[in-house]
Amino acid sequence: MSETLDEATTLKRRTFVAASVAVAGAPLLGPDRAAADVEAPETVPADRPSIVRLTVNGERRTAEIDNRTSLLDLLREHLALTGPKKGCDQGACGACTVLVDDRRVNACLTLAVMHEGADITTVEGLARGDELHPLQQAFIDHDGLQCGYCTPGQITSGVACIAEGHTGSREEIREWMSGNLCRCGAYTNIVSAIEQTAKEV
């Protein structure tokens, strides 16, 4: 039975793709090595536990964790720091924002083992005893929260926004805080709180 036009076209495409892959890969293998000789690199089992040592809110902390543990899960599940919230778990809402060596990081998107020896600050580490951080107080003064779920990430991100010097105008604050979503829509008050704090610190 003769092949149809579609079957012949599919065959030609497959032959072309196979030949292209072989030709493109040849220079990488070198003249004396065949594709069959290439060995896969040795991998470490993902479920093998690791010891991670961090400074969290000024305190040295050590935890034994699965290599696949996110920084957010380390903080919440292993260190009982529930300020950073698990919102979207995809890095889109900013509810899990923490400071890693003074830089804003979405804790849900990064593995804890990548931050061995790092200095982590969560919303719990911003106050000094009973004295609130100026931005925490400003959120209260300007009513910058409603349900409060996004507030820890908003405040932590806002502290970094001020430190980075991105508070020249309300528009600039909005731009640099755009990674933190407030489903209650308290944006105007959040911007006011950051604006006030930037002038005071």
pLDDT score, position 30? 53
Contact 111, 70 (CB under 8 A): yes
Residue 45: its pLDDT value, please?
Answer: 64
Mean pLDDT by 10 residues, the chain (201 residues): 49 52 50 51 69 97 96 98 97 97 97 97 96 98 96 98 98 98 97 97 85
Q: State residue 182's pLDDT score.
A: 97
149-173 as b/e: b if 16+ CB within 10 A: bbbbbbbbbbbbbbeeebbeeeeeb
Name the nearest CA neighbour of 105 among 72, 69, 63, 67. 72
Instruction: Compute the distance between CA of residue 198 and CA of residue 188 in angstroms, rounded to an integer.
Output: 15
What does the pLDDT read at residue 48? 79
Residues 6+ apart with CB under 8 A from 30: none
> Are residues 92 and 108 in contact, defined by beta-carbon separation less than 8 angstroms?
no
